[in-house]
Structure formats: structure tokens, C-alpha cells
Structure 1
Amino acid sequence: MTTDKRSTKEPDFVSVQVSKARRYYLNLNPSVSAAIAVVCGGVERTRTEYVVQRDRFPYFGIEMVTEGRGELTLRDRNFALSPGIMFAYGPQTPHRIANVPPSQMRKFYVDFVGHEAEAALRTAGLLDGKPLRVTRMHELVELFEMLDHEARGDSDVAGEVCEHLLRLMLVKVRQCCLAESPAMPRAYATYERVREYIETHYLELHTVEQVAAQCDITPIHLSRLFRRFGGVGAYRFLLRKKMNRAAEMLLEDRLLIKEVAERLGFSDAFQFSRAFKRVYGIPPRQLVRSRLSSFES
């Protein structure tokens, strides 16, 4: 399902090679005098054949991969895309983004303009011709989600709020970035291996002990890895993966709450609802009601 705040027709620069997307359009005609102005953004799940190739682009763009695998070309340099990779491009930056089957990448993005945009991206290390790997990815996801929430509101200051959120995101990138190098700690390589295992098998995993056993490490080591590199406990990460999928099932697949609970391996709908509220702060029934009311309005 694709959602649009201002129009029903997608702009030409938006890819249609996606299986699912949630998008917002805050201001497609920004002022040329703006310091930084958010234009649009969202999150999308690519199709396996997804390929986007551009010689130029109307805006500055930031993208962050949260699931799946892909390939990125910035100018004439090639890079691998995986969860935790963030990259940016400017209006004059040739770039190519492709999904690597059989995965289907899930990635957040935000597009913006302004006479301070390029300098802000450079300060964050995002215009050096290569992507960044970020830790505590969930904190950046929360900022992308906050941008989405504020951009969809009817507030007269939505643009200003989104500008501050974008600036905060760029500062946060400096805090969370982890330079790619041959000297990258072995512990981080283990963290990546375990995180990838969770992302691939989270539907059948229920406890941290299961994860640790399958990845041949101790639960204590597992917990330390996620606290150090993920900024969140391993079980919290696993639960968030399950609840992200649950939200997709409820909003996009239109499944019943009891059906989602069963598919995710919960003993009953009550246990599932409690876990969902722990992650999102609201019960799944409230999320479903908000979906229905948005269609009725």
C-alpha cells in the first residue's frame, strides 16, 4: 500500500519497482531560498528485480537499508548494500541502486533541498562518495518514522519540525557511523552475522537462547554484542523485527489480529497484543482502528 499526503499520483522520480511502500510528500515545490526543506520521503520494500539508475536527481537524497541485500554505484564506484548501510547523493550525483535477489531490500529515504543541504551532508560524512555503516540503526529508524509522522500532519509548522528532525538525523549519523575498514573489530563481524541470522529467521525464533545456540555463542556474549553495536538488547531487536512484520500484516495484508498472532508463533492474541504494545506503545487493535478511520475520512 502506498500512501500520499498531498496527491494521488506518484511523481516521476518515484520508483514503481516496489512491492510495498509508505510515502509522504511534504512540499514538492520548496522555496529556492530555504536553508533546508524536506520534500518527501518514506519507506519501501523493493521487488527482487528493483533497479534505479539516475544521472541526475531533483533533490538531495539520503537512504538507509534496514533489510535485504543490494548493490550501489555512486559515480563509478561500487558498494554492497546491507542492513545498517546509509548513503546519500546530490542532484548531480550519478547513482545506481539495485536489489540482490532473492532478498527484497527494505529501505528508508528522505529527499530535501536547500542552500545548506550540501554542507550538512558533507559534515555528516555522507557526501564523500561512499556509504556509511551505522550502529544503533533503530535510533535512525525512529527519526525516519518521526519525519513520516510529522510530514503527514496538518500542522502549520510541519515543515519546520521536519527540518529540525532532518538536521538531528544528520548529527545522529555522525554519532552512529562506523567506518568500514579491514581493521573493523571482529566483534562487529560477529554482531553482523548474528543480526543477519535474526533478520532471516526471526519468524521461527522466540528466545535469545535459541539465537545464541544457532549462532554458536553464549547468551551473555550475544547480549553484549547488541548493547555495544545495536544500542538495544538482542531480544528487543528480535521482538521489533516480529512487530514490524506484524504491522505490515495488519496494515497492508489486512489480516486479523488472531491470524497475525498465530503466524508469528504467539500462544494467543493477548500475548501478541502485549508484545505489540511493548514495542509501539499502542495495542494492535488501535492501529487497525486508525487504519479503518483513515479510509473512512
Structure 2
Amino acid sequence: MPTDSQPELNQSDPAFISDQVSQARRYYLDLNPSTNDALTVVCGGVERTRADYVISRDCFPYFGMELVTEGRGEVWLGDRNFSLTPGVMFAYGPQTPHRIVSRPEFHMRKYFVDFTGHEAEAALRQTGLLSGSTLLATRMHELVALFEMLDREARIDGEIAGEVCRHVLQLLFAKIRQCCLAESPTMPRAYETYERVREHIEKHFLRLKNVDEVAAECDITPVHLSRLFRRFGGIGAYRFLLRKKMNRAAEMLLEERLLVKQVAEELDFSDAFQFSRAFKRIYGIPPNQLVESRQAALEAIKRSSS
């Protein structure tokens, strides 16, 4: 799976794409779609919001659909306000005023896809996402897999890339109808437990060392904890915990300019080698390489602008 990149290095994003993100991986398939097509994927991707992330639009050129996989925030759809937590999906149309805000202490990571066409509204409405409310994915990992497939297929050169992506989007619509439900006060008890545990990890991930500690503090068994995260989160509980730690590590490396050894000490790893191995497990590259590639890219931008 490709890793998310640093968004400020991309100079070709259209005006409606936010730059209030710390990481992003985006694709642009058809920014000038035909008005005669039934359904066209315009663009999409995945992004991690910054603390100051705010999107406020009275209108939008396409239909948009988003899935939150990490963090917390809020969304206003028209005059209705909803909390955003992992597994929550929401959508908007060209005439839907919407505002999306990330909670500063819980930066969101979310997938999105924008699309248009004369069948787009009806297809989206069938999922329940144009009812002015949000949906909750009970099997989030299945939806993530389809968002990732859209990303992968959109990057393949060829005349039928658009057609393939259209079929993947239609499959995504069907999958939403299969594994999403409208949020209500009568949510399944298992999901309520998952939410409680996930929020505990998000608040205390810096001091938590392993899944056994999480389970003990949340008064559930490690086996039950693992099942909850596989069912509702799409990843294991330890990987979720490790990802939170490595997200913080990336911030310390890139924004606070700490050394690898310093970050390892801050996150309570036994040594820099153990930390580097954990970092590579999440990002696919060691921390030193991330810092070096970021610095090289920034220097290249400076040279090109001088």
C-alpha cells in the first residue's frame, strides 16, 4: 500500500482541495467530466488533517463522499451538526452547504471521493447518505479496501481507467448499503465498547505500551479487544496503537525537528533501532529516510522558485 506524502510538495492540486493537511495521497482522474456521462469519478484520496483544518462551502462542483478512519471532528450538513469518529461516513451534493472541522487534539485521517454524472445523485441517495445525516460503517476495513482500490486503479495509465473506477465506485455504493447503518441512540453494544476503547487509546497512546495494558485499563479481555478492532476498525488493536505513536513520531521528526534518538526516548522505546523498526512497519520507510526525503524535496522547491 502506498504511503501518504507531504501535501505541500504537490503544486498541482485544484482550488477546492484543502492545504490544511499534514499528509495526503490524492489522485485526479477527470477534472473536466462530460455532462453527458452517467457516472464519472473526478478525484479522491486520503488525507490527515491539521489542527486548523476547516472546510466551509456553500456549494461544490461535484458530489463528495468521505469516510473517517482516525481522529475526531464535526460536520455540518445544511443546518444539522454531527460528530465525526472512525467509521463515520458522510456525503454532500452540489447544493449542500457543508462545513467540516477537525478537533485539534484528534487529527482526522479520512478517505474521500468526488464524482459527478446524471446518475450520481440517485446512486448516492440509495446509500442513505443524502438524507442529511451520517452513516456508521460496521465493517470499515471493507470500505477502506474499496477506497484504496479506487486510488490504485486511478493511477493506472490507459483508456479504461475511468471505466474501471466507475465500476469500483458502484461497488462502493453497494458495499455502503450492505455494511453501514444510520447512527442512532440504539447503536450495537459491541460498537459502544469499541468506541470507548478506541477513545481511551487516542487519549493515552503515548504511555500505553501494549494491548494487554489497554485491555486491563478498559476492563475487557485482550481477545475481545482484538475482535472489536477487527470488526469495527479493520486493523488490529496493537497496530492502531502503534499507528497513533508513529503519527506523533512523524510530527516530532518533521515539525519539531527532533532527532531519531530523541523521538525514541520521548515515545519510551528501548533504543533508536527498535523505534526505527516500528516506524518502518507503519510508514514503509525508516525515520531517517523520511526526514532526508522531506528535506531534499523542500530544497528542490526552493531551487525551482529562485
Q: Tell me the TM-score normalized by structure 1.
A: 0.79
Report the CA distance shift for 1:254/1:21 in structure 2 as closer, same or farther (over 3 A).
farther
Cα shift at 1:160: 1.9
State how 1:39-118 maps to structure 2 within 5 Å. 39-118=42-121
Cα deviation code 1:58-103 (max 9, x no counterpart): 0000011222222211111111112211100111111111223333
Instruction: Measure the CA separation in 1 of the matches of 2:40 and 2:53.
Output: 28
- Please tell me whether the aligned partners of residues 136 and 232 of structure 1 are also in contact (alpha carbons under 8 angstroms): no
Q: Structure 1 residues 29, 260: CA separation in 2 closer, same or farther (over 3 Å shift)?
A: farther
Kindly provide the CA deviation profile for residues 132-166 of structure 1, in whole angstroms up to 9, marking residues without a partner as x.
11123233223222222222232332212222222
The CA deviation at 1:279 is: 7.0
Is there any run of 5+ residues in structure 1 with no aligned partner, and where? Answer: none
Please state how far the C-alpha of 1:56 moved relative to its aligned partner: 1.2
For residues 243 and 25 of structure 2, the distance between their equivalents in structure 1, rounded to whole angstroms, comes to: 18
Task: Tell me how far 1:26 sits from its aligned partner.
Answer: 1.3
Q: Which secondary structure state, in structure 2, belongs to the residue aligned with residue 22 of structure 1?
A: strand
Using the alignment, how far apart are the partners of 1:57 and 1:98 within structure 2? Answer: 17
Whole-Å Cα distance in 2 between the matches of residues 37 and 251 of structure 1?
37
1:31-63 CA distance string (max 9 Å, x none): 222222111112222232322221211000001
Compared with structure 1, are the counterparts of its residues 18 and 223 closer, same or farther at alpha carbon in structure 2 (3 Å cutoff)?
Answer: closer
Distance 2:167 2:120 in 1: 12
1:30 matched residue in structure 2: 33
Whole-angstrom distance in 2 between the partners of 1:206 and 1:258: 18
Do the aligned partners of 2:87 and 2:233 also contact (CA within 8 Å) in 1? no
CA separation of 1:218/1:246 partners in 2, compared to 1, >3 Å: closer, same or farther? same
SS in 2 for 1:168: helix
> 2:7 aligns to what SS in structure 1?
coil
Task: Report the AA paired with residue 128 of structure 1.
Answer: S
Match of 2:221 among 190, 200, 218: 218
Distance 1:43 1:34 in 2: 25
Where 2:46 maps in the other structure, the secondary structure is: strand
Alignment of 1:192-203 (within 5 A): 192-203=195-206
Q: Distance in 2 between matches of 1:25 and 1:260?
A: 35
- Quickly say closer, same or farther: Cα 1:144–1:102, change in 2 above 3 A: same
Instruction: Give 2:187's aligned residue.
Output: 184
Distance 1:234 1:17, change over 3 A: closer
Figure out how many residues of one structure are paired with residues of the other and give that number. Answer: 294
| Percent sequence identity over aligned pairs | 69
Moved more, 204-213 or 250-259: 250-259
Does 1:234 find its partner at 2:237?
Answer: yes
Gaps of 5+ in 2: 1-5, 301-306
Matches of 1:111 and 1:89, distance apart in 2: 10
Conserved 8 A contact 1:67-1:82? yes
Q: What code does the residue aligned with 1:21 have?
A: A
2:304 corresponds in structure 1 to none
Residues 119-141 of structure 1, C-alpha deviations (whole Å, 9 max, x = no match)? 21112111111111112323322
CA distance in 2, matches of 1:120, 1:250: 43
Cα 1:49–1:4, aligned 2, differ >3 Å: closer, same or farther?
closer
Shift of 1:183: 1.6
The alignment's C-alpha RMSD in Å is 3.6
Aligned counterparts, 1:132-211, within 5 A:
132-211=135-214
TM-score by length of 2: 0.77
Tell me if structure 2 keeps the 8 A contact 1:67–1:199.
Answer: no
User: Contact 1:134/1:173 (CA < 8 Å) preserved in 2?
Assistant: yes
Conserved 8 A contact 1:26-1:151: yes
